[in-house]
């Protein structure tokens, strides 16, 4: 049976040029996203919509997608299959309405028509983006301040700029600096909804005893000596509230598993974009494996683009991956480990895990979702293909002068009610 979702648009919402946002703008956006010729990495967000998969596989035209606009304020979405999480998917930035005239090149960024609280005033590539308030955006705030975002590669440089008064908002405070700001009004800790993990690549696929040794020889509790996290590695990164009870790997110092002979030397790759904390965490794992298992691991930090290409083409023996969720659910965190998923870098192919995921996807009651989430996590950990990195915070600094901003668990920053107390 088809499922119909009828959405009524807020008539107060307008584009930054003053034109009303219409349902047809959403239809155009959805069709663009599912167009196989554009190969969007987020096309799967629409796979439960009628004809979406057939369009993606080039068996139907984009005009046959199950979305329509019978009038300017009504958007109708027809689902091909039951999807209890589809309304969550609508928060994804890729499903925002398509601007009139489409998107523009970076050189013409200031011409982009925006639907949010801000529009681009100036863009200097790899340096800064200046934003000005969208005068047509409905907001209870009388006057929103302009915003300038700086592109800063180094965490220490960014902190220096913040302390010098050049920044009002620091998006990432490294762990070793956090104690200096304890008790400060400027320090904010926001629990993340992510699934970060240390994964084992195809090189270790046939080496089950070695993977078990890598998992069991890590004293997870000692991680908290260096980093302040909600839970230590070995526990999933998703919020504990997603499950009915905790599920964590355990340190087993008395394991009867022995390191292979000759001792392997394994590469551990991670992205340089993660900053200082990611590098320090990798060094910690390196020390744990050497101390408790006698296994040598060589750390290699790669530029983000190079790193992702390596994961897609030939994942290393060990790698660190952070997974941002597109919706605040357990299924969003675990579905990347389905067989054939483009981000399944551990190459997991487990019918038992797939069955747990299918059962989770059908769950509708909150208690049932939590129980089935925990069961799916247990099945994932049973494969010894990864080490989850625990539930973490976004640790940020923000000057009290500015209020009204909101950073949610998906790392989405809402500036619609941003206010400068000095205005």
Digit-coded pLDDT (tens) for 362-413: 998 999 999 999 999 999 999 999 999 999 888 999 999 999 999 999 999 9
Whether residue 77 has pLDDT greater than 50: yes
Mean per-residue pLDDT for 317-329?
Answer: 94
Band of residue 141 on the pLDDT scale cut at 50, 70, 90? confident
Phi (first) and psi of residue 329, to 5 degrees:
-140, 160
Whether residue 204 has pLDDT greater than 50: yes
Taking the CB of residue 62, how many other CB atoms lie within 10 A of it? Answer: 19
Please state, in angstroms and rounded to a whole number, the distance separating the CA atoms of residues 167 and 399: 9
Please state, in angstroms and rounded to a whole number, the distance separating the CA atoms of residues 411 and 398: 15
Please state, in angstroms and rounded to a whole number, the distance separating the CA atoms of residues 378 and 359: 14
Please state, in angstroms and rounded to a whole number, the distance separating the CA atoms of residues 97 and 245: 39
Burial class (CB in 10 A: 0-12, 13-18, 19+), 180: exposed
Please state, in angstroms and rounded to a whole number, the distance separating the CA atoms of residues 397 and 159: 9
Confidence (pLDDT) at 170: 96
Tokens of 276: 């200082």
Outline where 14-100 has alpha helix (H).
23-34, 52-56, 86-89
- Residue 200, beta-bridge partner list: 318
Strand order in the sheet with 386-388: 296-302, 265-271, 318-321, 197-200, 386-388
Which candidate, 381, 339, 332, places its Cα nearest to that of 199? Answer: 381
Answer whether 159's CB lies under 8 Å from 177's CB: yes
Measure Cα distances from 83 to 252, 325, 329 in Å: 40, 17, 13
Answer whether 270's CB lies under 8 Å from 318's CB: no
Tokens of 349: 């192919």
Chain center to CA of 315: 20
CATH numbers and ranges of domains, the chain? 3-95 (3.90.76.10), 106-188+396-420 (3.40.190.10), 197-391 (3.10.105.10)
Whether residue 1 has pLDDT greater than 50: no
Angle at which helices 208-216 and 276-293 cross, to 10°: 110
Triad 70, 74, 79: Cα angle to 5°? 85
How do residues 253-303 score in pLDDT, each as one tens digit?
Answer: 877 777 777 777 899 999 998 888 999 999 999 999 999 999 999 999 999
Please state, in angstroms and rounded to a whole number, the distance separating the CA atoms of residues 58 and 62: 9
Radius of gyration of the chain (CA): 23
Average pLDDT, the chain: 93
DSSP 55: H
Q: Which helix (H) or strand (E) holds 340?
A: none
Whether residue 100 has pLDDT greater than 70: yes
Confidence (pLDDT) at 335: 94
Confidence (pLDDT) at 106: 84
Confidence (pLDDT) at 2: 54
């Amino acid at each position: 049976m088809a499922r119909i979702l009828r959405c009524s648009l807020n008539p107060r919402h307008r584009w930054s040029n003053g034109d009303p946002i219409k349902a047809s703008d959403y239809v155009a956006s959805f069709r663009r996203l599912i167009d196989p010729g554009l190969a969007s990495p987020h096309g799967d967000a629409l796979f439960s919509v009628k004809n979406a998969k057939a369009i993606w596989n080039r068996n139907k035209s984009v005009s046959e997608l199950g979305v329509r606009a019978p009038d300017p304020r009504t958007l109708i979405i027809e689902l091909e299959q039951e999807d209890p999480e589809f309304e969550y998917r609508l928060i994804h930035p890729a499903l925002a309405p398509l601007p009139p005239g489409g998107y523009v090149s970076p050189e013409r960024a200031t011409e982009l028509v925006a639907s949010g609280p801000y529009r681009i005033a100036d863009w200097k590539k790899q340096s800064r983006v200046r934003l000005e308030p969208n005068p047509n955006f409905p907001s209870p705030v009388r006057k929103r301040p302009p915003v300038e975002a700086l592109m800063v590669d180094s965490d220490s440089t960014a902190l220096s700029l913040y302390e010098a008064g050049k920044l009002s908002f620091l998006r990432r405070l490294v762990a070793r600096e956090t104690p200096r700001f304890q008790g400060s009004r400027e320090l904010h800790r926001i629990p993340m909804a992510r699934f970060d993990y240390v994964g084992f690549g195809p090189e270790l696929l046939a080496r089950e005893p070695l993977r078990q040794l890598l998992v069991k020889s890590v004293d997870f509790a000692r991680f908290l000596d260096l980093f302040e996290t909600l839970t230590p590695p070995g526990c999933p990164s998703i919020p504990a509230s997603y499950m009915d009870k905790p599920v964590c790997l355990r340190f087993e110092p008395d394991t009867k598993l022995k390191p292979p002979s000759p001792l392997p030397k394994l590469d551990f790759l991670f992205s340089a974009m993660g900053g200082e904390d990611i590098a320090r965490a990798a060094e910690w794992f390196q020390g744990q494996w050497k101390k408790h298992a006698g296994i040598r691991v060589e750390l290699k930090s790669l530029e983000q683009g190079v790193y992702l290409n390596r994961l897609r083409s030939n994942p290393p023996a060990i790698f660190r991956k952070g997974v941002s969720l597109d919706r605040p659910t357990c299924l969003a965190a675990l579905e990347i480990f389905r067989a054939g998923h483009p981000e399944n870098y551990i190459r997991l192919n487990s019918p038992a895990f797939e069955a747990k995921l299918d059962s989770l996807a059908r769950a509708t009651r909150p208690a049932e979702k939590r129980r089935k989430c925990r069961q799916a996590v247990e099945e994932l950990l049973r494969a010894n293909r990864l080490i989850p990195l625990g539930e973490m915070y976004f640790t940020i600094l923000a000057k009290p002068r500015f209020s009204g901003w909101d950073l949610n668990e998906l790392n989405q920053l809402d500036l619609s009610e941003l206010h400068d107390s000095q205005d």
